[in-house]
Structure 1
């Protein structure tokens, strides 16, 4: 939490007041996202979680900063309240951003200009102040996800033997069974599988998947994770000194 701030500068958690529109007022999302809701107030967390689930999203709700740091890697987008009981919410934001570029929206009662600036400087992609309307939250989530998603190649469905990669739904299946991937794992696999005969350099992977801002170890870690989830190293071949290519099986 911000130390030394007067309580009057904050909106309390009781001001959440998510205003739910009728179902016809919000279009269903084209993609079902995995959303991590980090909210200290039990009632607020349950209300937000229920609303997101009604709109087709897969939601995990946690109450503490430490729980958020253990869970963010499973999420496509994080909704983070900055007023947490164990860890400064800004520190949680900085820690997540130092390790990942997962889209993150600060959803909080701290609404001064300084609060917003500090939240955005800590790494939040957007900042939403309580109370807010549910339509606005959904619109902001959609905008953040749209900005963060790299442009996919023209081939919307990639078929490589028993492996199917659907760019529109961002779903991967192997032998007809869904393979659960993180957002960046999907982007990396789609890039490699879209160019099956091409060795793709680490530099190109970094630029297209991570925007050029991450380390060599980041690529290696994601390749290793993908191999494990696909059941073998043959799917992604390391070309020493150059990069990787899609191997297939």
Structure 2
């Protein structure tokens, strides 16, 4: 009887260990020693993603168009003991993209992860009122720069035997926000860019996925929620009756960049509190 209890106890402990491992409870630093670039990462969703990747073991290079933003974010993240460096990068400028890649290579010797988060929205109004200049700016930054940023890191990822790219789009890709026509269109294009890049880069063991946040409470989205009545109207469309937090996007990105997602590519994950989405 004693022997049976010992065997049963051993089996129970083994099964518990298996369950904990499968749930990730006992795993530490799933991105250990990975090198990650995160664009537009000194505030909001980008900053939350950079923090989470570093917390999960990655060496992260952050960026922003303004040096003071980079300095502020670096001070905060490094004070938390995280391996984070940064540089100025306007993703619409080839020389800035090159400097961002060079920074990662010079400091860490390679690149494993790219999170493309940069976006602009200089327009609110009717689609028929959008000027050619506005179209150019939105598509240049929100779409073309994402493709070119990926192009810049692919050769370095190939040297490492593969990598992971996450493109940050929006639920606006599926369910457009009123008055934000060009922005909505650019985010829809990113879903297509994700699928095409995933198809082309699979042979190099580079996975490409997309994050589509809903209305997350950030300074970028402030115009959509600073009016309390408008915020309440939006909340009523959500199954989870509140707006999202940047940190609620970050864990998904870390997962998509990890080996736990090694069989996932070309997919878009919607993080939007149950808001309707379709395409």
Give TM-score, length-normalised by structure 2: 0.34
Q: Tell me which protein shows more helix as a share of its residues.
A: 2
In terms of Rg, which structure is larger?
2
Quick one: higher RCO (CA 8 Å, sep 6+), 1 or 2? Answer: 2
